[in-house]
Amino acid sequence: MSFPESFKLSQLAELLGTELDGDPKKEITGISSLERSTSKQISFITKKSYIPQLAETNAGAVICNKEFSNLYEGNKLVCSDPYLAYAKCTQIFKKQPLLGAGISEFAQINDSARVSESATISDFVSISEDVTIGDNVIIMPGTFIGKGSKIGKGSILYSNISLYDFVEIGSACVIHAGVVIGSDGLGFAKQNKTWVKIEHFGKVLIGDDVEIGSNSTIDRGSVGDTVIGNNVKIDNQVHIAHNVNIGSGTAIAGNSAIAGSTTIGKNCTLAGCSAIVDNISLTDEVHITAMSLITKSIKQSGIYSSGTPFMKNSDWKKNAVAFKRLHNLKK
């Protein structure tokens, strides 16, 4: 869906499903923070810590709930979930890459590949044999698509992505620059003092409406497939090992790593720098806080932590010494 360059507040209120309190004819051309907004931009507030900025903002309108609405005299769009409305507002003002459909003369397309006429294939893209590219797919420069791979309709692949053979990506996915999908995982058997490689024969299967951040890596299955469910959101620099299965609606923040053959349930969240060991499972609605190491399966939904919050170094050293002595304590 494409949108005009500017909107009246009445139009935004209708698109976002919010209540308008203010001038319905006010023109809005973009979105910004409370501190930096101009009179032509809309902003939002979700936390009380931003009340001082609310009082000083130059924003043409503010998205807020009823509590904050009483503290602001300017134009506002009032709703029960301002953060969700803000997220939808960013989609309205996002400008998609302006590329005409067609295949660049500098792209390399195997004769057996099936590429939709509405797809955009940019310079120096390489598409191997038996690849299927769906309608309205956009592939940016320098991306490689291995044989037998499939890209669903409306997906966008940014620059310098590598898809190994037999990777399947669903519809309306966004894959950011530098992502590698389908490489072999860490699979080796020890023979005396050397390692014997375990070959990988599985695929990577990615559902619809998945977003994968820059420089993240997803390994193919060794036997069986690595599976990423619908509406999964993966941040930058995340590693997902072979045969991992991630349920729909799960979100994984940056620098997290999931070891092989682990299953993550639906609607889970992994905060930054989380680490999950191999061959365990997390049930649905499990939320892992930052810097946590998960070493056993989690069978009950909830919030779990193992990271240590920061403190003065002198206190941390004392606590580290005390931690080593915990096993000696008697009840």
Q: Are residues 269 and 153 in the same domain?
A: yes
Cα–Cα distance measured from residue 183 to residue 166, given in angstroms and rounded to the nearest whole number: 11
The model carries a pTM of: 0.89
Q: Are residues 222 and 272 in the same domain?
A: yes
Mean pLDDT on 261-267: 98
Q: Quote the domain boundaries for residue 65.
A: 7-93
- 117 CB-contact burial (10 Å; exposed 0-12 / middle 13-18 / buried 19+): exposed
Q: Per-residue confidence at 3, pLDDT binned at 50, 70, 90?
A: low
In a domain, 318, yes or no: no
Query: At which of 76, 93, 110 does a domain end?
Result: 93
Q: Are residues 286 and 166 in the same domain?
A: yes
Mean pLDDT on 210-215: 98
Residue predicted with more confidence, 169 or 101: 169
Task: Check residue 1 and give its pLDDT.
Answer: 47
Q: Are residues 151 and 65 in the same domain?
A: no
In a domain, 143, yes or no: yes
In a domain, 140, yes or no: yes
State the chain's mean pLDDT as an integer.
94
Residue 83 is part of a domain; what is its CATH number?
3.40.1390.10
Tell me, yes or no, if 242 is annotated catalytic.
Answer: yes
Task: Check residue 101 and give its pLDDT.
Answer: 77
Quote the DSSP letter at residue 17. Answer: T
Q: What percent of the chain has pLDDT over 70?
A: 97
Q: Are residues 80 and 121 in the same domain?
A: no
Residue predicted with more confidence, 219 or 319: 219
What separation in angstroms does the CA of 26 have from each of 20, 29, 73, 171?
11, 10, 15, 36
Mean pLDDT on 314-323: 91
| Residue 96 pLDDT exceeds 70 | no
Q: Are residues 149 and 253 in the same domain?
A: yes
Mean pLDDT on 277-293: 97
Q: Are residues 189 and 142 in the same domain?
A: yes
- Please give the full DSSP string across 25-73, using - where no structure is assigned: T-EE-EE--TTT--TTEEEE--SGGGHHHHHH---SEEEE-HHHHTT--
* Active-site residue identified among 176, 239, 242, 327: 242
Q: Are residues 143 and 110 in the same domain?
A: yes
For the beta carbon of residue 289, count every other beta carbon within 10 angstroms: 16
Q: Are residues 216 and 73 in the same domain?
A: no
Contact between residue 38 and residue 49 where contact means Cβ atoms under 8 Å apart = no
Summarised one tens digit per residue, pLDDT across range 152-194 is 999 999 999 999 999 999 999 999 999 999 999 999 999 999 9
Q: Are residues 261 and 278 in the same domain?
A: yes
Task: Check residue 242 and give its pLDDT.
Answer: 97
Instruction: Tell me the two tokens of residue 313.
Output: 């170094």
Phi-psi region of 182 (alpha: psi -120 to 50; beta: other; left: phi over 0): left
Contact between residue 261 and residue 244 where contact means Cβ atoms under 8 Å apart = yes
Q: Per-residue confidence at 60, pLDDT binned at 50, 70, 90?
A: very high
> Which residue's entry shows tokens 């006010």?
26
Q: Are residues 24 and 122 in the same domain?
A: no
Q: What percent of the chain has pLDDT over 90?
A: 89
Task: Check residue 2 and give its pLDDT.
Answer: 52
Q: How many domains is the chain partitioned into structurally?
A: 2
Mean pLDDT on 200-211: 97
